[in-house]
């Protein structure tokens, strides 16, 4: 088994945090997406979509998509549960993780991909070129990110973690999104004290450095 990873990229980081929380060690292969290694012949054979992370199992099965990879490890290594237990709990975790992806990670991605010079003409991940950056999308992403923080603030008034009483994959996704937002100078404002409290707690977990 091996995990195709890039230490500086946010989505592979989600998987590394998930593995660290479970105490699982997997051999990693670095794919330097800043050097466009995702478009190299060798990696295109692994994942023609040109994205990391990718988990390769010993039987040759390849799984891309961070959550699909996490799901695999949740099933083979259920402790500690990070995707909920039982029908209700799992659905609530999934709901919050989806929201963290669609409203948090996507918003941050929209800003990053449409502003950073390294993504010039490559505003969509996995595409070699011909996708120009659009300032309006970056602006929209900033507004979406602000709304996402408001959603988290309201949620974290009532619960210690995003999906409820326990740390889950939803915390990993939201934390990775918020940490990545720093790259484009988007920070959690003082008007979100509960998000700040939660953020510092997650940052103090050993998995945060994974
Ligand atoms: N939804 C996918 C997103 C994967 C993705 O976009 N990965 C980025 C790194 S965070 C990537 O590989 N980018 C390649 C590129 O910039 O061309 C997942 O969660 O695995």
Q: What are the tens digits of pLDDT across the range 50-76?
A: 999 999 999 999 999 999 999 999 999
Evaluate whether 5 touches 29 at the Cβ level (below 8 Å).
Answer: yes
CB half-sphere exposure, 14, CA atoms < 13 A: 30
pTM surpassing 0.85? yes
Q: Alpha carbon of 163 to those of 137, 154, 155, 173: distances in Å?
A: 29, 12, 9, 11
The token pair at 103 is: 């409203």
Match domain 87-209 to its CATH number in 3.30.500.10, 3.30.70.141, 1.20.1050.10, 3.90.245.10.
1.20.1050.10
Going from N- to C-terminal start, the domains of the chain cover: 2-76, 87-209
Beta carbon of 15 within 6 Å of any ligand 1 atom: no
pLDDT confidence of residue 16: 98
What pLDDT sits at residue 100?
98
Partners of 64 in the beta sheet?
Answer: 54
pLDDT at 186: 98
| Residue nearest (by alpha carbon) to ligand 1 atom 20 | 65
Q: Average model confidence (pLDDT) for the chain?
A: 98
Task: Report d(CA 151, CA 162) in Å as an integer.
Answer: 10
Per-residue confidence (pLDDT) for residue 54, from 0 to 100: 98
Could you give the C-alpha distances from 81 to 55, 76, 91, 152, in angstroms and in order? 20, 11, 13, 22
Band of pLDDT at residue 81, cut at 50, 70 and 90? very high
Distance 126 CA to ligand 1 centre (A): 7
Task: Please state which architecture CATH assigns to domain 2-76.
Answer: 3-Layer(aba) Sandwich (3.40)
Alpha-carbon torsion angle 189, 195, 198, 199, nearest 10: -40
Nearest CA to ligand 1 atom 2: 65
pLDDT at residue number 148: 98
**pLDDT tens digit string along 2-34?**
999 999 999 999 999 999 999 999 999 999 999
Binned at pLDDT 50, 70 and 90, residue 182 comes out as very high
CB distance 109 to ligand 1 below 6 Å: no
Percentage with pLDDT > 90 across the chain: 100
Number of residues written out for the chain: 210
**Distance between Cα 9 and ligand 1 center (Å):** 8
pLDDT at 66: 98
Nearest protein CA to atom 5 of ligand 1, as residue: 51
Place 97 in a pLDDT band, splitting at 50, 70 and 90: very high
Tally Cβ neighbours within 10 Å of residue 91: 12
What pLDDT score does 187 carry? 98
Whole-angstrom distance, CA of residue 146 vs CA of residue 104: 9
Ligand 1 probe mutation, 108, 126, 170, most atoms within 8 A of CB = 126
Q: What are 123-173's pLDDT values in tens digits?
A: 999 999 999 999 999 999 999 999 999 999 999 999 999 999 999 999 999
State residue 13's pLDDT score: 98
Q: Does ligand 1 come within 6 angstroms of the Cβ of 9? A: yes
- CB 48 within 8 Å of CB 56: no
Helix (H) or strand (E) holding 2: strand 2-5
Cα distance between residue 210 and residue 203, in whole Å: 11
CA of 102 to the centre of ligand 1 (A): 14
Give the nearest ligand 1 atom to 67 CA.
Answer: 19
Residue located via tokens 């699982």: 24
């Amino acid at each position: 088994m091996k995990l195709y990873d890039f230490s500086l990229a946010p989505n592979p980081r989600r998987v590394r945090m998930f593995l660290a929380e479970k105490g699982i060690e997997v051999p990693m292969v670095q794919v330097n997406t800043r050097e466009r290694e995702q478009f190299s012949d060798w990696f295109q054979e692994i994942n023609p979509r040109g994205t990391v992370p990718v988990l390769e199992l010993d039987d040759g099965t390849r799984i891309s998509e961070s959550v699909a990879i996490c799901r695999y490890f949740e099933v083979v290594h259920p402790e500690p549960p990070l995707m909920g237990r039982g029908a209700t709990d799992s659905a609530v975790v999934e709901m919050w993780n989806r929201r963290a992806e669609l409203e948090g990670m996507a918003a941050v991605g929209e800003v990053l991909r449409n502003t950073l010079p390294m993504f010039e003409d490559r505003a969509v991940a996995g595409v070699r070129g011909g996708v120009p950056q659009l300032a309006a999308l970056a602006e929209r992403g900033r507004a979406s990110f602000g709304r996402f923080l408001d959603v988290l603030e309201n949620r974290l008034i009532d619960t210690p973690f995003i999906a409820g009483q326990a740390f889950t994959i939803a915390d990993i996704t939201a934390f990775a999104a918020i940490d990545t937002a720093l790259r484009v100078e988007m920070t959690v404002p003082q008007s979100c004290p509960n998000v700040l409290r939660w953020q510092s707690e997650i940052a103090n977990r050993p998995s945060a450095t994974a």
